[in-house]
């Protein structure tokens, strides 16, 4: 079992915990003054010194099996702010298994940060839970945030921060899918990736009437230290305003800002490779980019047989994100995983991010338990050692109709891509489905079809109304010849203006 599977299981355990009752909150260990610049100054000081690895929790905790880890769970009746009129609750996770090092968690009240002491009595255990030692290295591995959505007195989770710099969130009514990270370093590089950690969280105590909660985080790794501030507003979409400042210890020539992590196993582009009764398995099905030139780009995700890295050059991007456009139960036929309820995640930069690339990394995978998709913004210019770099962005978790996408509807979206052999088995066929849209109504003869490839022959496209969807389908064939990878591009235009998203795809030989 992997970390992503474990997090899903922990959410299920939280739902099994029963209705919360009033109980004492976790106790405070120490108190320190806290202000707007506290975390930034801590990060600056950290970066001025050599990196020091945090101590590990005792080995019996680190050696827990997946099943043993699940015999211990947080008692939500002992949550932070339980029994108060605060609009949020905070649960804590114990360490062990995939989480060998503890993080510090503080509650900020007014201008004072109160450190939460590790308390094993905050956790329920089954009779199969092993006896485990407690020493000065113990602490929590992360936190979970809950709020009331539609039922007074029922606090449901909407965000989790746990493991390295990973975090995830959902909108009301969704289930967890893709994740985000505070920072990515050297993703896909031959010398290996570096995973910075959030080592300390400060959560500001909410007051009645607050519709958002503020959290600060300290990031650290051998190469960089950083200070983060999250303003999180749950609801029909979960919106996070992120402000970050990085202090590199070394020159960072491959840094990933606003990194996203997801899973794509198969859909109609590669269904033939998997002997599974379900028609599709994925947390996300495409990368959406609104580039600085105003183009809307849709790149369906792939599960290649060799590592694939794609770069989309841009100047001051307007936004990018990983989408889950397949949103019907019949798209997946999975009554347990409910992939149709997984969130989209849209990143909207604040200010000018300059030149760089949206980088997409696709990793071969044969199991749905593994995350194999990474997307992030890579600045063109390296971040120099000893410098300071601040950036900000908005993250919207939810569906495309509830804000997790650009506020732009002037061109029809791609809803599905199908790829396979033609009738004579001598060429590949791509069929691109577009949603119903005013631009695709009536006579389609005045729509110009553009198809292109960087290798091999591509046929003219055929555009037809699809009576099943109410939209339109563009289909064309291509011959990869001897190429192991082919870059494809298609778009519809009318009167020299875009009449569809730009569809891009990298076909690779299986």
**Domain boundary residue among 354, 380, 402?**
402
- Are 166 and 68 within one domain? yes
What whole-number distance in Å separates Cα of residue 51 and Cα of residue 14? 36
Return the pLDDT at 17.
42
- The answer as to whether 409 is a domain residue is no
CB within 8 Å of 431: residues ≥ 6 apart? 417, 418, 419, 473, 474, 475
Pairing of strands 264-266, 472-479: unpaired
> Is 463 exposed, middle or buried (CB count within 10 Å of its CB: 0-12, 13-18, 19+)?
buried
- Are 222 and 335 within one domain? yes
Q: Per-residue pLDDT tens, the chain, 510 aa: give them.
A: 454 656 555 554 444 444 343 446 678 999 999 999 999 999 999 999 999 999 999 999 999 999 999 999 999 999 999 999 999 999 999 999 999 999 999 999 999 999 999 999 999 999 999 999 999 999 999 999 999 998 999 999 999 999 999 999 999 999 999 999 999 999 999 999 999 999 999 999 999 999 999 999 999 999 999 999 999 999 999 999 999 999 999 999 999 999 999 999 999 999 999 999 999 999 999 999 999 999 999 999 999 999 999 999 999 999 999 999 999 999 999 999 999 999 999 999 999 999 999 999 999 999 999 999 999 999 999 999 999 999 999 999 999 988 888 888 899 999 999 999 999 889 999 999 999 999 999 999 999 999 999 998 999 999 999 999 999 999 999 999 999 999 999 999 999 999 999 999 999 998
- The answer as to whether 408 is a domain residue is no
- The answer as to whether 407 is a domain residue is no
- Are 93 and 227 within one domain? yes
What whole-number distance in Å separates Cα of residue 64 and Cα of residue 99? 10
- Are 313 and 365 within one domain? yes
CB within 8 Å of 165: residues ≥ 6 apart? 181, 182, 183, 195, 196, 197, 198, 217, 219
- The answer as to whether 366 is a domain residue is yes
Give a three-class secondary structure readout of 97-153.
CCECCCEEEEEEECCEEEEECCCHHHEEECCCCCCCCCCCCCCECEEEEEEECCCCC
Structural tokens at position 316: 């001051």
Give a three-class secondary structure readout of 279-325.
CCEECCCEEEEECCCCCEEEEECCCCCCCEEEEEEEECCCEEEEECC
- Are 479 and 370 within one domain? no
Return the pLDDT at 401.
87
**Domain boundary residue among 355, 378, 402?**
402
- Are 155 and 249 within one domain? yes
Return the pLDDT at 18.
40
**Domain boundary residue among 402, 428, 459?**
402
Please list the residues that pair with 502 across neighbouring strands.
297
CATH of the domain at 236: 2.70.98.10
- Are 362 and 436 within one domain? no
Handedness of CA 106, 109, 112, 118 (dihedral sign): negative
- Are 366 and 495 within one domain? no
Domain range for 124: 3-402
- Are 280 and 389 within one domain? yes
Return the pLDDT at 1.
46
- The answer as to whether 56 is a domain residue is yes
- Are 216 and 158 within one domain? yes
- The answer as to whether 453 is a domain residue is yes
Q: How many domains does the chain have?
A: 2
- The answer as to whether 345 is a domain residue is yes
- The answer as to whether 173 is a domain residue is yes
- Are 471 and 349 within one domain? no
- Are 366 and 419 within one domain? no
Please list the residues that pair with 140 across neighbouring strands.
103
CATH of the domain at 495: 2.60.40.10
């Amino acid at each position: 079992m992997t970390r992503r599977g474990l997090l899903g299981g922990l959410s299920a355990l939280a739902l099994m915990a029963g209705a919360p009752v009033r109980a004492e909150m976790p106790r405070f260990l120490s108190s320190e003054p806290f202000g707007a610049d506290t975390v930034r100054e801590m990060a600056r000081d950290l970066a001025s010194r050599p990196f020091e690895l945090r101590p590990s929790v005792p080995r019996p905790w680190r050696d827990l099996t997946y099943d043993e880890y699940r015999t211990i769970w947080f008692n939500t009746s002992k949550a932070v702010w339980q029994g108060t009129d605060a609009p949020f609750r905070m649960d804590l996770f114990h360490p062990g298994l995939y989480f060998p090092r503890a993080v510090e968690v503080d509650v900020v009240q007014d201008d004072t940060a109160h450190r939460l002491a590790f308390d094993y009595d905050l956790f329920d255990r089954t009779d199969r839970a092993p006896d485990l030692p407690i020493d000065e290295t113990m602490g929590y591995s992360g936190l979970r945030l809950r709020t009331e959505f539609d039922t007074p007195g029922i606090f449901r989770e909407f965000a989790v921060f746990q493991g390295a710099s990973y975090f995830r969130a959902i909108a009301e009514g969704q289930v967890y899918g893709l994740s985000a990270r505070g920072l990515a370093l050297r993703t896909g590089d031959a010398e290996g990736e570096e995973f910075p950690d959030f080592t300390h969280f400060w959560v500001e105590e909410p007051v009645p009437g607050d519709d958002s909660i503020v959290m600060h985080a300290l990031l650290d790794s051998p190469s960089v230290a950083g200070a983060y501030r999250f303003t999180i507003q749950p609801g029909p979409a979960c919106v996070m305003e992120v402000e970050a400042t990085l202090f590199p210890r070394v020159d960072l020539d491959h840094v990933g800002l606003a990194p996203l992590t997801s899973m794509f196993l198969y859909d109609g582009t590669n269904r033939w490779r998997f002997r599974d009764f379900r028609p599709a398995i994925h947390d996300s099905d495409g990368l959406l980019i609104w580039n600085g030139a105003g183009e809307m780009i849709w790149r369906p995700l792939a599960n290649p047989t060799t590592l694939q890295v794609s770069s989309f050059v841009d100047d001051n991007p307007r936004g990018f994100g990983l989408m889950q456009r397949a949103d019907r139960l019949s798209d997946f036929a999975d009554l347990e995983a409910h992939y149709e309820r997984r969130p989209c995640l849209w990143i909207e930069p604040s200010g000018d991010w300059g030149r760089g690339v949206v980088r997409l990394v696709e990793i071969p995978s044969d199991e749905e338990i593994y995350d194999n998709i990474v997307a992030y913004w890579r600045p063109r210019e390296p971040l120099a050692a000893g410098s300071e770099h601040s950036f900000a962005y908005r993250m919207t978790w939810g569906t495309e109709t509830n804000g997790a996408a650009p506020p732009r509807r002037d061109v029809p979206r791609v809803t599905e891509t199908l790829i396979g052999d033609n009738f004579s088995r001598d060429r590949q066929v791509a069929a691109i489905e577009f949603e119903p849209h005013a631009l695709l109504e009536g006579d389609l003869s005045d729509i110009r079809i553009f198809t292109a490839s960087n290798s091999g022959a591509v046929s003219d496209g055929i555009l037809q109304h699809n009576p099943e969807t109410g939209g339109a389908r563009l289909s064309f064939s291509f011959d990869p010849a001897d190429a192991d990878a082919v870059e494809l591009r298609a778009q519809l235009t009318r009167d020299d203006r875009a009449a569809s998203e730009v569809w891009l795809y990298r076909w690779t030989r299986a």
